[in-house]
Amino acid sequence: MTEPAISPLRRRMIEDMTVRNFSEKTRTDYIRHIKTVTAFLGRSPDTATAEDLRRFQLHQTKSGSRAPSINSSVSALRFFYGVTLDQPGLARLLTFVSEPRKIPVVLSPEEVCRFLEAAPGPKYKAALGAAYGAGLRVSEVVALKVSDIDSTRMLLKIEQGKGRKDRMAMLSPQLLELLRDWYRIARPRLWLFPGQDQTDHLGTRQLNRVVHATARMAEINKRVTPHTLRHSFATHLLEQNVDVRVIQVLLGHARLDTTALYTRVATNTIRAVMSPLDHLIGLNKKKAEPPA
């Protein structure tokens, strides 16, 4: 079977991304954004003007595109015009859109327990247990290899996480038991959680579908995603008074202010703080005095 023909322009862009060691996902996303611009223009993207690109971004905003999608397209277009076409001035009017920082959805420990108990079988209980027990991203869970489990040092090796960085994650005794239960059943060789094709790992979309189904089975009414388990991991550690800088390392965050977001949802931490109102001794005394 012959491969579909690729235009010289797209091939050059792919080569430019390959030289810079872009991830597979980034390459796919960038190509998709250039296709979208091409469809909007109705002609080859290398014929676009700065005004065409400004109109495209205005079209995105008016059509209700979300900030992450718009920002991803800006990055793709700046790369395409600035690097592949060597015309950085064309994308000068494109701007990144600020993203509102929402409080993440977090499950209570009791809800996490119900959720994991409702998981469909040892494979998914182990995978979802890893997402919560080690605070892993969904892409990190599915890409785990059998060799990444270090039961001697009680660590999980995360290869090429976000930002293409390796790191070590914690491996709790209970998570190790979940992983061992699954290993004894399936005896996976390479990928800890193989997909239907044993030569590849489980897909993120499949795990996403399992998370939604499991939340329904557990009768959890919150909007649960794989990342909810990671949010819950960080929040529960914070409520156990684990230093936020330690949590930053465990999550693999590059910036502390990203981790600090969880202080907004750590309810035990919030409740433990005494309000300055309670320090107003005079007000307390007046309250204690009986009415005349």
For the chain, give the mean pLDDT. 88
Catalytic annotation, pick one of 27, 162, 180, 264: 162
Grade residue 1 by pLDDT with cuts at 50, 70 and 90. very low
Catalytic annotation, pick one of 137, 167, 201, 231: 137
Grade residue 283 by pLDDT with cuts at 50, 70 and 90. low
CA–CA separation, 68 and 97 (whole Å): 8
Q: Is the pLDDT of residue 55 over 90?
A: yes
Q: Is the pLDDT of residue 54 over 80?
A: yes
Give the start-to-end residue ranges of the domains of the chain: 8-91, 109-271
Using CA atoms in the order 182, 188, 194, 197, what is the torsion angle rounded to 10 degrees?
-140
33 given a catalytic annotation? no
Catalytic annotation, pick one of 30, 81, 132, 262: 262
CA angle 131, 22, 194 (to 5 degrees): 40
Amino acid of residue 144: L
Q: Is the pLDDT of residue 134 over 80?
A: yes
CA–CA separation, 26 and 12 (whole Å): 16
DSSP letters along 259-291, please? HGGGGGT-HHHHHHSPPGGGG-HHHHHHHHSPP
227 given a catalytic annotation? yes
Q: What is the pLDDT of residue 2?
A: 46
CA–CA separation, 229 and 133 (whole Å): 8
Q: Which of 103, 113, 106, 133 has its CA nearest to residue 232?
A: 106
> Which range (21-25, 67-71, 158-162, 235-239) has the least confidence?
158-162
The CA distances from residue 282 to 267, 279, 286, 287, 291, in Å, are 29, 9, 6, 9, 16
Catalytic annotation, pick one of 123, 230, 231, 236: 230
Tokens of 145: 């290899």
Give mean pLDDT, residues 42-65.
Answer: 94
Cβ contacts of 66 within 8 Å, gap of 6 or more: none
Q: What is the pLDDT of residue 164?
A: 66
CA–CA separation, 85 and 259 (whole Å): 38
Superfamily holding 109-271: Intergrase catalytic core (1.10.443.10)
Q: Is the pLDDT of residue 290 over 80?
A: no
DSSP letters along 203-216, please? PHHHHHHHHHHHHH
CA–CA separation, 184 and 179 (whole Å): 9
Task: Tell me the sheet residues that pair with 170.
Answer: 155
pLDDT in tens, 184-242: 999 999 999 999 887 899 999 999 999 999 999 999 999 999 999 999 998 898 888 88
Distance of CA 262 to the CA centre of its chain: 15
- Residue with the larger pLDDT of the pair 129 and 161: 129
CA–CA separation, 51 and 59 (whole Å): 12
Amino acid of residue 273: V
Please check whether residue 169 is in contact with residue 155, taking contact to mean a CB–CB distance below 8 angstroms: yes
Sheet harboring 155-158: ordered strands across?
Answer: 149-150, 155-158, 167-170
Q: What is the pLDDT of residue 4?
A: 57
Please check whether residue 132 is in contact with residue 116, taking contact to mean a CB–CB distance below 8 angstroms: yes
Q: Is the pLDDT of residue 269 over 70?
A: no
CA–CA separation, 197 and 58 (whole Å): 43
Strands in 3-162 per DSSP E: 149-150, 155-158
Fold that domain 8-91 belongs to in CATH: DNA polymerase; domain 1 (1.10.150)
Q: What is the pLDDT of residue 275?
A: 65
CA angle 111, 116, 119 (to 5 degrees): 130
DSSP state of 83: I
Q: What is the pLDDT of residue 108?
A: 93
Residue percentage of the chain with pLDDT more than 90? 64
CA–CA separation, 244 and 262 (whole Å): 9
Q: What is the pLDDT of residue 292?
A: 54
> Which range (7-16, 121-130, 239-248) has the least confidence?
239-248
Grade residue 156 by pLDDT with cuts at 50, 70 and 90. very high
Q: What is the pLDDT of residue 100?
A: 73
> Which range (114-118, 132-136, 164-168) has the least confidence?
164-168
Give mean pLDDT, residues 50-79.
Answer: 94
- Residue with the larger pLDDT of the pair 56 and 278: 56
